[in-house]
Amino acid sequence: MNSVDVDPFAHLIPGARKVLDGSEAARFAFIGRDKLIETPALRQVQQYGEELYAHAQIQRPPNGLLIGPSGIGKTHAISSLVDRHPPRRSRASGELRVPILLLEYPPEPSRRWFAKAIAEGLGYLMPLPRHSADIYALLLRLIDRARTRLIICEEVGQLHGWGREHVLYFYGLTRWLSNQTKVPIIYTGTDQAADLIDGDIQLKRRFEHLKLVPWKADAEFAGFIKAYLRTLPLRHETIVDLSLVECVHEMSEGITDTVVKILNRAAKRAIQSGAERITAADIIADVSLPPVITIGRPIVRRRQRRR
């Protein structure tokens, strides 16, 4: 009988396999990269976003409010949706086409920021007109010229505490933008974003809530852990048993970003220790240990000789 060669690194994606023989720093750098892992939440957001993107332009277009705890994966899912429809230049006219306009609300109060961010996102880098009516007319021209099909603005919940003047301006501009462009809008944020939208009866009726919730310690969560471990350049396969799943879930409270950080730190320690695989014991010990860093060669500075 002919023996069949078993691939010792079949548990890794091709990219992770390539860096196995690299330096510790190279492996750590690969671990720290952003990785796209298919999850139920990501598929849910992508499907919902694609439905709005493909929706016919009508007088009252559907809008969405994507809410969930910080780190649950909202931005990750939105980014993957935008990557499907990236901005591009028209070969004929050279004009910028922005199928999905992605914005983020600023960290401090600003009435004109929303309009300014929309204009800049559509390629308009000149100062806005002074009068509001001229600003609004400009935005309509830019959105039409860019052939925008979907507008997404993240982190709108923080506006909830900015005072009534800014909130009323946000309400008015949102209603006007939706009515005049006939382009669907998606806002994202934590539960504060839901409180903000629900504070206006018209917007409450126009925005459908889509809520992302933390993972449960179930088979889907175990599947996500297995999929993520395939991206970590460890020489030996990690056994994803009930003990490991429960440890990761308890430490992360089911928040995706925290899960990723826990597994990344554990993978780095597994490389430094030579174990080359993650165990539940590594996960438990992770809380009390300092961040893992790669240690390079010390830099020796030579003193200059005095002449």
Domain ranges for the chain, please list them: 14-32+231-288, 40-211
The structure's pTM equals 0.84
**CATH top-level class of 40-211:** alpha beta
pLDDT of 277-293, one tens digit each? 998 888 876 555 566 66
- Residues 234 and 13: beta-carbon distance below 8 Å: no
272: left (phi over 0), alpha (psi -120 to 50) or beta: alpha
pLDDT of 259-281, one tens digit each? 999 999 999 999 999 999 998 88
Mean pLDDT value across the chain: 88
In sequence order, the 6+-apart residues with CB closer than 8 A to the CB of 124 are 138, 142
Tell whether the torsion through CA atoms of 256, 257, 259 and 263 is positive or negative: positive
Residue 282: alpha-carbon gap to chain centroid: 27
